[in-house]
Structure 1
Amino acid sequence: MKRFPVEGKGRCSAVESGGLVYAVATDPHCADGLTGQTRNTLDELDKVLVKAGSGKTALIQATVYLSDISAKPAMDAVWSEWIGPEENWPQRACVGVDLDAGYLIEVVVVATVL
């Protein structure tokens, strides 16, 4: 098992274990608006996955947490551009939740190691 710690006590951006990568990302810049935060979050997720030996083409499952579920169509537009062709599509769920102040999106994924 390999862990990829981040700032903040008691957490990692990813864990690789048994051929799987478990990862999480948010916008490190906390941009204004969901579209910008979604782009930044997915860019960050790309970096985390690559660091852990995976990538978006290896995604199995994704959970997208949104501070305002009614804004899902805006997130979907960015997600669809980022994820690419149908063969890349993971099983995905979107959930409306309270997030830390300033954060509009958080993405949690499971992927295979490439």
Structure 2
Amino acid sequence: MNIKRIPSNAPGRSDAVAFNGMTFLVAYDPDAAEEIQAQTRNCLRFLETKLSEVGSGKQALLQVTVFLSDMTMKPAMDEVWCDWIGPENNWPQRACVGADLGDDVSLIEITAIAAQIET
């Protein structure tokens, strides 16, 4: 089995795992910015970096789940998301859900599944 893992700074987990042409990722704002648009930009930058590390990119995203600590922030998050994701041919299937993210500073976390575009 050829599984590629990109370890997280948090013990016991990986930020990305690639196997059999598929990549499974989690992204968050490592800087814990104070507002949702900054956290979203940082989270998407982190996601793009991890995608690149496993030979993928945002154009290969298949499914994304956005977790928000407060769903009233969704319109502000969507502004940043839509600017980042680009043209319609990049759009993955996406869901957005409200969730307790475990602390008072994390506003957003993203999980994603992408195809690998490099071998």
| TM tier relative to shorter chain | over 0.9
Structure 2: gaps (5+ residues):
none
Q: CA deviation at 1:57?
A: 0.4
Aligned residues: CA RMSD = 0.6
Q: CA deviation at 1:8?
A: 1.6
Write out aligned runs for 1:52-71 (5 A): 52-71=54-73
Q: CA deviation at 1:9?
A: 1.3
2:36 to 34, 37, 57: 34
Q: Is 1:109 matched up with 2:109? A: no
Q: Secondary structure at the match of 1:7?
A: coil
Q: CA deviation at 1:74?
A: 0.4
- Corresponding pairs, count: 114
Aligned residue identity for 1:93: A
Q: Secondary structure at the match of 2:23?
A: strand
Q: CA deviation at 1:46?
A: 0.5
Equivalents in 2 of 1:56, 1:79: separation in Å? 11
The alignment's TM-score, normalised by the length of structure 1, stands at 0.98
1:24 to 21, 26, 38: 26
Q: CA deviation at 1:100?
A: 2.5
Aligned residue identity for 1:47: T
Q: CA deviation at 1:71?
A: 1.0
The alignment's TM-score, normalised by the length of structure 2, stands at 0.94
Q: Is 1:84 matched up with 2:57? A: no
What CA deviation, in whole Å up to 9, does each residue of 1:55-101 have, x standing for no partner?
10000000000000111000000000000000000000000000132
2:75: which partner in 1? 73
Q: Secondary structure at the match of 1:15?
A: strand
Equivalents in 2 of 1:41, 1:8: separation in Å? 16
Equivalents in 2 of 1:26, 1:104: separation in Å? 9
